[in-house]
Amino acid sequence: MNTQENTPSLLPRIWKHKLLIFIVLFVLWIVFFDRNSVMMHMEREKNIAELQDSIEYYQREIERLNLHLEELQNDPREMEKFIRERYNMKRVNEDVYIIEKK
């Protein structure tokens, strides 16, 4: 008896599924190795989301600062308070004590 005739070799069985092998290799290439792979796409999407959050934060900050600027321009008492706190200015014959929190 010849055992080689009874058992089919592995290589011809694999070649029967050429299309399946090609599809698997193609998917692996696209997911991991390509310049525009799925992994890179997900990383870029995450980066875009972070940048959009940053944009929203800075837009809110601009609005808050514009409101504060408007208050300073329209209210002299607010302006005086800001100057005194920010630049440690004082009136004549006035003592200012700065208390720092530890």
Instruction: Decide if 98 is inside a domain.
Output: no
Instruction: Decide if 101 is inside a domain.
Output: no
Calpha distance 48→56 (Å, rounded) = 12
Q: What is the pTM of this model?
A: 0.57
Q: Which residue would you say has higher pLDDT here, 1 or 77?
A: 77
Task: Say if residue 3's pLDDT is above 60.
Answer: no
Instruction: Decide if 1 is inside a domain.
Output: no
Domain coverage including residue 23? 8-87
Instruction: Decide if 13 is inside a domain.
Output: yes
Tally of domains in the chain: 1
Instruction: Decide if 33 is inside a domain.
Output: yes
Residue range 21-62, pLDDT digits in tens: 888 888 888 877 777 888 888 999 999 999 999 999 999 999
Instruction: Decide if 39 is inside a domain.
Output: yes
Q: 3-class SS at 4?
A: helix
Tokens describing residue 53: 């959050």
Instruction: Decide if 65 is inside a domain.
Output: yes
Averaged pLDDT score across all residues of the chain? 84
Calpha distance 64→54 (Å, rounded) = 15
Instruction: Decide if 99 is inside a domain.
Output: no
Q: Give me the residue label for tokens 């989301």.
A: 49
